[in-house]
Amino acid sequence: MDIEEVQKEWEDLRVDFKRLETINKDYATKLEEVGDLQGACMKELNHQRYRMSLIANALKSVDKKSIEKDERLLTLEKEIMKRKAMLHEIEATLPKQNSLYLKIILGNVNVSILNKNDKFKYKDEYEKFKLILSAIAFVLAVLNLLIDFRPLQLIMIFLLVWYYCTLTIRESILKVNGSRIKGWWRLHHFISTAVAGIILVWPQNEPWNEFRHTFMWFIAYISVVQYMQFRYQSGVLYRLKALGARHNMDITIEGFHSWMWRGLSYLLPFLFGGYMFQLYIAYTLYQISYHPEATWQVPVLSMSFLLIGIGNTATTLMLIPQKLSEQDQKWRQNKGEAKTE
C-alpha cells in the first residue's frame, strides 16, 4: 500500500465512523428514554399499590358488615389477588435498590437483572457454582481424612470461608432479583462463614486433633448432600422455566408437583441425616470443651452447630405444610381459571 491508498482507506473509515456516531447517539437517547420510562412505571406501580390498599381496606369493612358473602365481593377479592400477581410481574422488569449488605460490599452498583432469561441463567450459574465448590470440598475433605498435613487443612478451611462468604453475596443478588429464598438459609450461610472463620483460627492442639476427623467426615457428607440438592434444585428450575414458557395447563402443574414430591422424599432423609450430624457435632464439641487445652473456639462452635442444626431442622420441617398449602392454592387457582375460560 502506498500513502495515497492509506489516505483513501482512512477517508473510507471516516464515513463508517460517522455511521457509528449516529447509532451511538440513537442508543444514548434510547437509554435516557428507558430511564424515564422506568421512573414512570415505578410511579404508576406505587399508585396502583396505594389505591389497591385503600380498596382492600374498604372491602374488609364491607365484609365485616355483611352477614353473607356477596358474589360481587368474592369476585373483587379474586381480581385483587390477580392484580397483585400482575404487579409483581411488572415489578420484576424494573430495577431495584440494593439491600444494605450489598450496598456495603458493592457500593451503589446496579445488580438488577431485568430479563427473565438472564435471571434464569444467573440462578443456574449459582447452583453450578455451589456444585463445583462442593466437589472440590469433597476431594479436600477425603484427602484430609487420609493425610495429616496442616497446610491442606488450612486450604480446605479457607476455601469454606470464601465459599460461604461468596454465597451470601450471590444470594443477596438473587433476593434483589425476586428470589423467594427464606431468610434462614441466608442467615445459615452468614453463620457458616463465621463458623469456618473460627475453625481457621483454632490453634493446632489436642482438642483440634480430637475433632478434626469428625469435621472432615461432615464436610464430605454435606458435599454429597449438596450434589443431591443440586439435582433437585436444577430440576425444579428447568421444570418451572418450561411451565412458564408453555403457559401451562393444570396437567403440567400436577406433573410438576408429583415430580417435586418424589424429589423431596428422596432428598429429605439425607438432609435430616445432615441435621443429626450437626447436632452430634454440637454435642461432641460440648464434651471437648471440658478438655484442659480447649480454647474459646470450642464452646462457640458447639453453640453455633447447635443453632444451625435446630434452625435447619425447623425450617425444613415447616417446608412440608407450606408446600402442601401452596399446591392446594395453585390447584384451586387453576380450577378457577379453567372455569372462566
Residue ranges binding ligand COA (CB under 6 A):
123, 174, 179-182, 185, 222, 225, 229, 232-233, 236, 267, 271, 274, 312, 316, 319
Give least dist CB 35 to ligand COA, A.
27
14 vs 180, which CB is nearer to ligand COA? 180
Q: Cell for 252?
A: 403440567
> Within 10 Å of residue 98's Cβ, how many Cβ atoms?
19
Q: List Cβ neighbours of 260 (8 Å cut-off, separation of 6 or more).
A: 236, 323
Is-contact 161 190, C-beta < 8 A?
no
Residue where the block lists cell 443440586? 230
172 vs 312, which CB is nearer to ligand COA? 312
Residue where the block lists cell 450471590? 170
310 vs 319, which CB is nearer to ligand COA? 319
- What is the C-alpha to C-alpha distance for residues 156 and 221, in angstroms, rounded to an integer? 15
Q: Cell for 185?
A: 438459609
Q: List Cβ neighbours of 207 (8 Å cut-off, separation of 6 or more).
A: 288, 291, 293, 294, 295, 298
- Among left, alpha and beta (phi > 0; psi -120 to 50; other), residue 2 is beta
Residue where the block lists cell 461468596? 166
- What is the C-alpha to C-alpha distance for residues 165 and 169, in angstroms, rounded to an integer? 7
- What is the C-alpha to C-alpha distance for residues 289 and 205, in angstroms, rounded to an integer? 13
Give least dist CB 235 to ligand COA, A.
10
- What is the C-alpha to C-alpha distance for residues 236 and 262, in angstroms, rounded to an integer? 12
Give least dist CB 288 to ligand COA, A.
21
The secondary structure of residue 251, as a DSSP letter, is: H
233 vs 302, which CB is nearer to ligand COA? 233
229 vs 289, which CB is nearer to ligand COA? 229
207 vs 309, which CB is nearer to ligand COA? 309
Give least dist CB 119 to ligand COA, A.
8
Give least dist CB 222 to ligand COA, A.
5
Which residue lies nearest ligand COA, judged by its C-beta? 274
Give least dist CB 263 to ligand COA, A.
8
> Within 10 Å of residue 244's Cβ, how many Cβ atoms?
11
Give least dist CB 189 to ligand COA, A.
8
Give least dist CB 20 to ligand COA, A.
39
158 vs 184, which CB is nearer to ligand COA? 184
295 vs 315, which CB is nearer to ligand COA? 315
